[in-house]
Structure 1
Amino acid sequence: MIGTLVNVGAIILGGSIGLLFRAKIPERLFKIVFQAIGVFTLYLGISMALKASELLIMVFSLVLGSLLGELLRLEERVEKLSEGLKKRVGSGDANFSTGLLTAFMLFCMGAMTIVGSLEEGMGKEPTLLLTKSLMDGISSVALAAVMGIGVLFSVVPLLIYQGGLTLLAALFGDIIPQIVIDEITGIGGVLIIALGISILELKKIKVLNMLPAILIEILLCYIFL
């Protein structure tokens, strides 16, 4: 899990640098930078979503996954955990939860996360995750400067998610076909599009309640593909 640990360290380092800049950024610049991040998030999501080819599976996964997430109240539960963490660290940042969620989605939903974790889990050099670490470290500077300390705490779910993928790949990596990876990347892109819409304040979307769609997508891919 060297690649994931380096990734965590890069985000903490980059986010810490961003927090230093945060105090020096005039308030009037926050909004335009926030919008720039939102637009980039939309672009990233669209580019990822286009990798998917099995649209019916994606639609069913999104519908069923969203219903399951809503029934489980995932977003409500995560927000409570986030608020509890915010109080524990004594942060008064109003964007704590937004920063944590946004950073986690951007850092974890891409193809580099999935493929890189699979490669390292199957015993290959973590070259892709090390490259991702550099990119995430740079991105975390901008994210933390605008969204605050919540970005740093995104490393907790990142460690669980990315590390978990690496461990699963060590056990089952040889039986994961490329088409499944593409479909996971595609539905992850749709979720990032939803995140971008929320960041731009066009519409509040409960992105966390949609996360079970990824698990359902994997299940349906193995059943029908």
Structure 2
Amino acid sequence: MVLLGTIVNTLAIILGSILGNMLTRIPEKIKQTVTQGMALVIVLLGIQMGLKTENSLYVIGSLVLGGIIGELFDLERLLNRFGYFLEKRVGTGKDGNIAKAFVTGTLVFVVGAMSIVGALDSGLRGDHSVLFTKAVLDGFLALIFSTTLGIGVIFSAVSVFLYEGIIAIFAKYIAMVIPHPLMGHFINEITATGGILIIAIGLNLLNITKIRTANLLPSIVVCALIVLIIYYWNISFT
């Protein structure tokens, strides 16, 4: 079953989110400290991901162009409106901001090598081991996030299902478009660009900054396109 790994990963996030949202008696001081601790881990994760780039110009170009696109469409505002729409139907999150929880969960669970590699393994070889491992990690993180950010984290499971599911289903076509020699480079640059966004999420959770992270989301797609264009046009920055 091509989507088995994706389904397990999605269910793990849903289960973790539900369990975390049930832990309502945790003292506020503990929630605050745990949130800060998780934010620091997210920053560290983002730094590790960001260092995977083989050429920082890919990341810079992606963030600049992606940021422009995101601001033109004002994705942050659209996601907040979506969050308010959900809040009216499921109740407010712990901070009254489902959109914040949704974006945080989506970036942490979706961006990264494990999502791409795991989904490709599922689609090409029927090997779901990477996504099974990721499911355990994501389930635990979803539990922690939902205790502090609220039920909005559960909606990031939809993003994970669509992202990993599409990659798994179209894995053979993706392998044809992205040759094996390019695949590692492709994954590294997308991971690095996503890492910068994850750092921004961590800094926002620490209340150090107020970066409109959602408006930078198009940079992931832009990065993929830049890598492909440069590869097929044989452009070199060195």
Alignment TM class, shorter chain as reference: over 0.9
CA distance, structure 1, for counterparts of residue 77 and residue 123 of structure 2: 33
TM-score relative to the length of structure 2: 0.89
Structure 1 vs Structure 2: percent identity of aligned residues?
38
The one-letter code sitting in structure 2 at the alignment partner of 1:143 is F
Distance 1:92 1:46, change over 3 A: closer
Instruction: Please list the CA deviations of residues 162-221 of structure 1 after superposition, one character each: whole Å capped at 9, or x if unmatched.
Output: 222223323222443211111111111111111111111111111111111111111111
The equivalent of 1:109 in structure 2 is 111
Residues 1-150 of structure 1: matches in 2 within 5 Å? Answer: 1-21=3-23, 23-91=24-92, 93=94, 94-150=96-152
CA distance, structure 2, for counterparts of residue 24 and residue 95 of structure 1: 20
The one-letter code sitting in structure 1 at the alignment partner of 2:172 is A
TM-score relative to the length of structure 1: 0.94
**Kept after mapping to 1: 8 A contact 2:10/2:161:** yes
SS of 2:208's equivalent in the other structure is: coil
Deviation at 1:104, TM superposition (A): 1.2
Deviation at 1:92, TM superposition (A): 5.2
Structure 1, gaps ≥5 residues long: none
**Of 153, 156, 159, which aligns to 1:157?**
159
Structure 2, gaps ≥5 residues long: 232-238
SS of 1:204's equivalent in the other structure is: coil
The one-letter code sitting in structure 2 at the alignment partner of 1:151 is V
Deviation at 1:8, TM superposition (A): 1.0
**Kept after mapping to 2: 8 A contact 1:121/1:173:** no
Aligned residues: CA RMSD: 1.4
SS of 2:125's equivalent in the other structure is: coil
SS of 1:51's equivalent in the other structure is: coil
The equivalent of 1:191 in structure 2 is 197
CA distance, structure 2, for counterparts of residue 106 and residue 98 of structure 1: 12
SS of 1:122's equivalent in the other structure is: helix
CA distance, structure 2, for counterparts of residue 168 and residue 188 of structure 1: 22
The equivalent of 1:218 in structure 2 is 224
Distance 1:61 1:92, change over 3 A: closer
Deviates further, 175-184 or 162-171: 162-171
Moved over 3 A (4+): none
